[in-house]
A = this chain, B = another copy of it.
Amino acid sequence: MHVVKEYRSFSADKLISIAPIAKQAYTEIVTAIGNMVGKINNSEKYINSVSPIKNGLINLLHDEYGWEKEKHLMALTGEGNTGSTNKRRKGSGGGIDVYKEFSQDEFSFRVGIEFETGNVASVHRSLNKLSLGEKNKELDLIVLVLPVFDLSYYLTDRVANYEEIERYFPLFEDRPFIAFGFDAEEYSPDFPIFVKGNDGNSKKK
């Protein structure tokens, strides 16, 4: 896959321009998106499951760059975030999909990514969850990754796409926020179909 649309808030843009660890985080995400299989079966709309694509990206970030999966926010689970019993507190809505703490000298730089595979309402929840993490000083850069419209047409029905949410991005312009819209490299009715529960084919050879 590859990034074809991008939104960068002013502070996010500044960060990745001047801070090496922010630039590194940015590069890891873009590289991982680029390493996902970009051949999409387009024989029918909604024919591919989006979950193997999501899992592919998450696994790449985890396996190759050491990103953590399902990071729970203290802002949503309560102070401390140590016990497992309070992790599923009412309204927590699960953890951040992927998270990594970078470090440079004695400083840390914490990045949270939500890879959206739900409907558009669910994207709003992802955006607000990331924002809350940033507001609560648990995240230093917040990132949304989702397919663009052209690709989403061949993915799970109603999966959100970049174009249907981008009008809301200005709400997050005062936070260090980046949104990536990705597309496939090639479409053909002859390519394998992404099937739910199978993410073995989600990395380029």
> Which residue numbers of A lie inside 8 Å of B, CB to CB?
75-76, 90-91, 93, 118-122, 124-125, 127-128, 131-132, 135, 149, 163-168, 170-171
Contacts and interface: CB of A to CB of B under 8 A. Distances in A.
A170 B127 CA distance: 14
Contacts of A120: 91, 93, 125
A163 B76 CA distance: 12
A100 B18 CA distance: 47
Nearest to A92: B167
Number of copies: 2
A168 B171 CA distance: 15
Going nearest first, the 10 A-B pairs with the smallest beta carbon separation are A91-B164, A124-B124, A121-B121, A124-B125, A121-B125, A121-B122, A124-B128, A90-B164, A91-B167, A128-B168
A160 to B, nearest CB: 9
B118 A168 contact: no
A125 B120 CA distance: 8
A12 to B, nearest CB: 18
A165 B128 CA distance: 11
Contacts of A93: 120
